[in-house]
Amino acid sequence: MDIKKAEDTILIEQIGRGHEAALSELYDRYGRLVFSIAYHMVHNHQTAEEITLDVFTRVWRKAATYNSRKAKVTTWLTSLTRNRAIDILRREQVRPEKGSIGWGELPTEPVSQQGSPEVKASLSWQQEQVRQALAALPETQRESLALAYFRGMSHSEIAAHLEIPLGTIKGRIRAGMQTLKGLLNES
């Protein structure tokens, strides 16, 4: 099996069986995404790198428990990243500023300065696809997702911050994630 061409769920299965090459490939595909989410939540390059390492360490340990019927691999990675960043923010008793976030603020420096030009180009392409998909969302969904995933706010905190019912926030986030999924699957 060519690990470079394997689907994400196959990579997770291989990681669950202890195949380091599968973990390396998953990192090559999504390390940048994990770092970007972490960085936007903690606003610290070193801490974001630590979170990225923690997330992929957790993937290594928990791959056998991953259920592809519950979530896509990218959703699982995003959730692991967000939860780890929130843990760190709570531990440090620091909450990010609750202002608006610009999607153009995604960091452009690579997670690692090493890597082939092909890997760097792929990461750059992935980042641009995410940026375009986020920009295509309706403002209400984009704002709710930004507050949840990049600012680390709970659904209740978002509802209070925006002075909108909790159910509306949950609906916006769910709809935004579905729209993102569709947009990213198209690209």
Secondary structure of 17-40 as H, E, C letters: CCCHHHHHHHHHHHHHHHHHHHHH
Distance (Å, whole) CA 76 – CA 53: 15
Distance (Å, whole) CA 12 – CA 65: 10
Q: Residues 3, 25: contact at Cβ < 8 Å? A: yes
CATH code of the domain covering residue 143: 1.10.1740.10
Residues 6+ apart with CB under 8 A from 20: none
* Residue 66 structure tokens: 């991953």
For the chain, the domain total comes to 1
Report the amino acid identity of residue 120. K
| Residue span of the structural domain in which 53 resides | 3-186
Distance (Å, whole) CA 187 – CA 182: 9
3-state DSSP assignment of residue 72: coil
* Residue 65 structure tokens: 């428990």
CA distance to 28, 95, 149, 159, per residue, from 154 (Å):
30, 11, 9, 9
Q: What is the DSSP letter of 150?
A: I
pLDDT of residue 115: 57
Residues 6+ apart with CB under 8 A from 59: 12, 15, 23, 26, 77, 80
- Reading the chain (187 residues) residue by residue, the pLDDT tens digits are 788 889 999 999 999 999 999 999 999 999 999 999 999 988 888 889 999 999 999 999 999 999 989 889 999 999 999 999 988 888 776 444 444 445 444 444 444 444 566 666 766 777 777 778 888 888 888 888 888 887 888 888 898 888 888 888 888 888 888 888 888 777 6
Query: Of 115, 88, 99, whose CA–CA distance to 147 is shortest?
Result: 99
pLDDT of residue 100: 44
Report the amino acid identity of residue 38. A
Distance (Å, whole) CA 129 – CA 186: 10
